[in-house]
């Protein structure tokens, strides 16, 4: 399911984009089965997040790897 991005998403710094993206996925898109006393760790809460890179950042990243 595609994540709806904030209108200003691409104008934010990379750390801001990544932080917002993780929060958005965890709050609005990830299934929640949290019981009292549960720790938010483990396989159920591991999410593969986007690098949140724009096209030019992606090209630079691809060159580095």
What's the pLDDT at 30? 78
With a threshold of 0.75, does the pTM exceed it?
no
- Which pLDDT tens digit goes with each residue over 26-37? 888 877 777 777
Smallest CA-to-CA distance from 25 within 46, 55, 10, 54 is with: 46
Q: What would the two tokens of residue 15 be?
A: 């750390």
CA–CA separation, 51 and 62 (whole Å): 12
Q: Residue 33 has which token pair?
A: 């089965």
Rounded distance between C-alpha atoms, residue 17 and residue 14, angstroms: 5
The pLDDT of residue 19 is above 90: yes
Q: Among residues 6, 9, 56, which one has the least CA distance to residue 28?
A: 6
Looking at per-residue pLDDT, the higher value among 45 and 62 belongs to 62
34 or 12: which leads in pLDDT: 12
pLDDT confidence bin for 18, thresholds 50/70/90: very high
């Amino acid at each position: 399911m595609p994540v709806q991005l904030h209108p200003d998403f691409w104008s934010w710094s990379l750390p801001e984009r990544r932080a917002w993206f993780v929060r958005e996925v965890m709050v609005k898109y990830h299934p929640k089965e949290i019981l009292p006393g549960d720790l938010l760790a483990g396989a159920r809460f591991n999410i593969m997040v986007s690098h949140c890179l724009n096209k030019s950042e992606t090209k630079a990243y691809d060159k580095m790897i």
